Structure 1
Amino acid sequence: MKYDVIVIGSGPGGYIAAVRASQLGKKAAIIEKYATLGGTCLNVGCIPSKALLDSSHHYYDAVKHFEEHGILVDKPKIDFPKMVERKAKVVEQTTGGIKYLMDKNKIDVYEGLGSFVDATHVKVTKNDGTDETIEGTDIIIATGSKPSTLPFITLDKERIITSTEALKLPEIPKHLLVIGGGVIGLELGSVYKRLGADVSVIEYMDKIVPGMDTDVSKELQKVLKKQGVKFFTSHGVSSVERKGDEVTVKATNKKGVEVEFKGDYCLVSVGRRAYTDGLGLENVGIKVNERGQVEINDHLQTNVSNIYAIGDVVKGAMLAHKAEEEGVVAAEIIAGQKPHIDYNLIPGIVYTWPEVAAVGKTEQDLKDAGVEYKAGKFSMRALGRSRASGDIDGFVKVLADKNTDEVLGVHIVGARAADLIMEAAVAMEYRASAEDLARICHGHPTYSEAVKEAAKSAWDGMPLNA
């Protein structure tokens, strides 16, 4: 069978690329090695983790906050198998939606491992051992990523686990050790902390979510610590050992002292690696960098001009929405259009509670680049909407150019930060000034008023409600 576009991998980048290609009149096929479509995000990442985050949030609110709202209930009980069952149903519905999109857009789906025969032919090796070769004028690699580990750690996937296993544990841990204070570790740590586990986060760097603005990192750590999560930053893990149902983690702190942690589960959350296993890149001479990522140019092309690569398998933030945007761009370039993508305006989000979201530059980025800037900050505690809901933790921080007032970065810790950040992204897409944001009338009472107030603080230093 011959196609205009073949996409290898059906995650958010892959399936969106196939849909967009089909919309633009291309005959498209998608190859997926697993039985369900949707890749990591829909099956063992974004969607199931948010389902558990929401379920655990409801339970935590019932235990900790209902009474202050005048809602008196007997102490809630956790039906953990039911919670996991609900998560599975959400995943099933979502992946089923992708199958619907494939049918709607007349995209052929091949189940099996896709590998390059040459620059225009891909072999699909099916689970029954048979194979089939299909031909494509253009091919998009969208094979995503897998969890990374450390060289000295043996993942048994029972007690020493990755995020994949953490989403389907048979029980709530008594003490979950989390190696890595990044997004995934904090989100899954939050799930189990809310459900009653002790949670200890062991982080090599001197702060959690190290890529985010320092103020954000400090605020998030303070809030999660208040919720009961224990943090051990500047700790380099040296060994992870399991004996029966107990896992021991040894780490050295910044003073050179070895510290020992014991728990019944250990989540290894030290990032992810590009996944190209079995893809046969060597058969077509596609170059990869020192991190194993497929090398691409500004048009998402590999060194083989008709082969493109997108998402986690290439450089940049490993985010589903980044992969989606690249999927659209790749399909449109193949169709002869001239799309663009601004990587500076791809938001980063942490779905703890409060949520964390950021877009653009951090203060450190601006300092390192020698950019003169001004900063405005507004506390969520000062909002009527926050006091009404009880979500008073966090702030909005706006960074603007000192001379032109253009908004350069926005950083939020607070309720619904994941949704609020898009106001900043839109503003920055149109190169708005802090004054522009400050002069837009925001609904009252809303969380979004904090964006207006922080922008006014950055613009003229005089927020109205602080």
Structure 2
Amino acid sequence: MIVVLGGGPAGRMASLRLATAGKKVTLVEPRGKSRGIGGQCLHFGCMPVCALNDVARIIGQARRFYEHGMTDAVPALRFSNVMDETLAVQQKIAGILDHETVSAGVDVVYGKEGRVDGPQVFIGDEPVDTEAAIIATGSRPNIPDVPGITLPGVYTPHTLWDLRELPEKFTIIGGSVMAAEFAYIFQTFGSEVTVLSRSGFLKNLDKHLRAIALKELAGVDIREGAEVTGIAGTSRVTGVRYSAAGADASVEAGAVLLAAGLVPNSGMVTGIDKGPDGEIVVNDRMQTSVPGIYACGDVAGAPFLTPVARHEGIVAADNILGKERHMDYSRIPQAIYLAHDLAFCGSGGEGSASLALPGPAGPGTYWSVPYGDTGLAKVFADPASGEITGMCAAGPTGGVVAGYLAFLMQRHISVHDFEEFIEVHPSTDGVNGLAKYASELFKRHNPP
């Protein structure tokens, strides 16, 4: 028997892979069946953010139609209904995942904690004999150690779904993707949003994408270099205290969201090597320091991305099955979901050239033309060989474009290969046209 601890993207994909290969698999999911499998992505991250972002984008688009005099009103938000309906859809998806997993032959054990002590695996308090085991216990929100952090009205992405009234003043602690996405959602819903970022806000994002993000978050009060020192309030949160540039300051808040990142959920694992943040140390075959014990997904550390977790689960499963497979992190597409998909993969290495143009008008951006924000296309490439080393795409289909181009970049695609590319029109994908232009430019300056 193979035991998999955790029913999130990594554990579930590993279980499916092993079961369809004929292995007896037991998947241990500590949350009860009423909550269901699906992990952080379904219950606290990607899917609920998509749910709220869909509503926010519709409201934002409707607001533009109203401003142009094409409609009579902007839809009024029923916030509690949005949260309730989000949960209902999550439960439906969890049921589908459960059916798919069980139908593949996986034995799913709900409501019991799994743990590992060196080579020994436990389900609840019972030790079990295993051929191999996979630790895929995910991650949990990083909670800063500051006074008042446990006050009512302070939420994490795991508890935000208890919120049923839209706060008039909403403060987000954090400066990365999660903070940006929730800032866009709540400012569009109508909250007065303040972001307290300990360092630079979206500091690692490409400068062109960051400029678009800041434009789409123009209504958000973003305060950089803000070190949170405490949460104000007695029976409920009333504000956040922080220091910036050597001075103390504060901001009022009816609700606070802690979006300060994730930490590996590895407290139930002992006798196995871990890193400084509790991440389980693995090699590129997802093997831990103990033979026969594998780890994948968020519990193995950054980048804390669902597609990476899924792929790590497949790599772990294949190695258990005797099919040597290695994890490659060199081309991982990512996206931030604001009014547009702000997607990217790779970057310009030494000697690379970059070309950038506004995204084309098309479905989803036609009415963005008057505002000058139809998105972006950007390509990094080697002028000598034409090989694409990175890209950015902002627009309604930016995430899709980044996913496919990342796959092609792994196969060393060149801008010259796009000479034969025929796109669908109309489309908001400007990367293909930019690659064609780059090909012409490089040939002009580097003739064969």
Q: Report the TM-score when normalising by structure 2.
A: 0.91
Deviation at 1:309, TM superposition (A): 0.4
What secondary structure does 2:159 align onto?
helix
User: Is 1:161 equivalent to 2:150 in the alignment?
Assistant: no
Deviation at 1:461, TM superposition (A): 4.1
Residue of structure 2 aligned with 1:459, choices 426, 429, 439: 439
State how 1:20-99 maps to structure 2 within 5 Å.
20-35=17-32, 36-65=36-65, 68=68, 70=70, 72-99=71-98
Matched residue pairs, number?
435
CA–CA separation in structure 2 for the residues paired with 1:153 and 1:434: 54
CA–CA separation in structure 2 for the residues paired with 1:43 and 1:143: 14
RMSD between aligned residues: 2.1
CA–CA separation in structure 2 for the residues paired with 1:307 and 1:236: 39
Residue of structure 2 aligned with 1:376, choices 345, 351, 355: 355
Contact 2:284–2:327 (CA under 8 A) maintained in structure 1: no
CA–CA separation in structure 1 for the residues paired with 2:11 and 2:432: 37
CA–CA separation in structure 1 for the residues paired with 2:199 and 2:439: 33
Q: Deviations over 1:220-267 (max 9, x none)?
A: 112211xx12211232323322244443223333x4333321111111
CA–CA separation in structure 1 for the residues paired with 2:387 and 2:211: 26
Amino acid at match of 2:161: L
Q: Deviations over 1:156-184 (max 9, x none)?
A: 26312211222331210111111112111
CA–CA separation in structure 1 for the residues paired with 2:138 and 2:251: 33
Contact 2:365–2:428 (CA under 8 A) maintained in structure 1: no
Give the aligned partner of residue 222 of structure 2: 231
User: Is 1:296 equivalent to 2:290 in the alignment?
Assistant: no
User: Is 1:431 equivalent to 2:412 in the alignment?
Assistant: yes
Note closer, same or farther for the CA distance 1:339–1:65 as it changes in structure 2 (3 Å cut).
Answer: farther
Contact 1:344–1:359 (CA under 8 A) maintained in structure 2: no
Residue of structure 1 aligned with 2:214, choices 221, 226, 233: 221
Give the aligned partner of residue 320 of structure 1: 306
State how 1:66-465 maps to structure 2 within 5 Å.
68=68, 70=70, 72-111=71-110, 112-116=112-116, 119=119, 121-125=120-124, 131-156=125-150, 158-206=152-200, 208-225=201-218, 228-253=219-244, 255-277=245-267, 279=268, 281-282=269-270, 285-361=271-347, 363=348, 366=349, 371-380=350-359, 382-385=360-363, 388-390=366-368, 392-437=373-418, 439-448=420-429, 450-461=430-441
What secondary structure does 1:150 align onto?
coil
Q: Deviations over 1:38-90 (max 9, x none)?
A: 111111221122112112322333333356483x2444222222211210111
CA–CA separation in structure 2 for the residues paired with 1:269 and 1:384: 33
CA–CA separation in structure 2 for the residues paired with 1:351 and 1:446: 19
- Ranges in structure 2 where 5+ consecutive residues have no aligned partner: 443-448
Amino acid at match of 2:384: N
CA–CA separation in structure 2 for the residues paired with 1:441 and 1:324: 32
Deviation at 1:213, TM superposition (A): 1.7
Give the aligned partner of residue 445 of structure 2: none
CA–CA separation in structure 2 for the residues paired with 1:436 and 1:66: 43
Note closer, same or farther for the CA distance 1:62–1:334 as it changes in structure 2 (3 Å cut).
Answer: same
Contact 1:247–1:262 (CA under 8 A) maintained in structure 2: yes
CA–CA separation in structure 1 for the residues paired with 2:387 and 2:346: 12
Identity %: 26
Note closer, same or farther for the CA distance 1:210–1:153 as it changes in structure 2 (3 Å cut).
Answer: farther
Contact 2:5–2:29 (CA under 8 A) maintained in structure 1: yes
Give the aligned partner of residue 11 of structure 1: 8
Q: Report the TM-score when normalising by structure 1.
A: 0.88
CA–CA separation in structure 1 for the residues paired with 2:6 and 2:363: 43
Q: Deviations over 1:191-228 (max 9, x none)?
A: 2111110111111223x222322322222112211xx1
Contact 1:223–1:393 (CA under 8 A) maintained in structure 2: no
Amino acid at match of 2:226: H
Amino acid at match of 2:202: V
Note closer, same or farther for the CA distance 1:352–1:148 as it changes in structure 2 (3 Å cut).
Answer: same
CA–CA separation in structure 1 for the residues paired with 2:141 and 2:118: 29
| Residues 77-86 or 304-313, more deviating | 77-86
Note closer, same or farther for the CA distance 1:258–1:266 as it changes in structure 2 (3 Å cut).
Answer: same
CA–CA separation in structure 1 for the residues paired with 2:44 and 2:202: 21
Deviation at 1:118, TM superposition (A): 5.3
Contact 2:170–2:191 (CA under 8 A) maintained in structure 1: yes
CA–CA separation in structure 2 for the residues paired with 1:218 and 1:78: 28
